[in-house]
Amino acid sequence: MIFKAVRDGRPYPEHGLTLKQWSEIPPRPVRLDQLITTKRELALDKLLAEDSTFYGDLFPHVVQWEGSLYLEDGLHRALRAALQQRTSIHARVLQA
């Protein structure tokens, strides 16, 4: 299994961070098998796009809440890493 679990939606309260605030969190390695996704579906065009991070953050956004790691943004990056047989990614992790 690639991820710990797949959810549809966030179980944690809204954090209200802006992209600028996210960018101030230093990225750190996170194992894919520890992540719980907050989206059940992925747009294939985003997964295959070469410039998929052109308008966004280079690192996925993860929220640590009640001891679990929730992948809030960057599902296509995490899946691409798994397809490349990598077991971890660098992500910005918010301690909520």
Q: Which residues pair with 61 in a beta bridge?
A: 73, 92
pTM equals 0.87
pLDDT in tens, 6-39: 999 999 999 999 989 999 999 999 999 999 999 8
- Using the predicted structure, report yes or no on whether residue 47 has a pLDDT greater than 70: no
Q: Would you place residue 46 in the very low, low, confident or very high pLDDT band (cuts 50, 70, 90)?
A: low
pLDDT for residue 53: 52
Element (H, E) at 65: strand 61-65
Answer whether 48's CB lies under 8 Å from 13's CB: no
pLDDT for residue 23: 94
Quote the tokens at residue 85. Answer: 């047989």
Answer whether 78's CB lies under 8 Å from 71's CB: yes
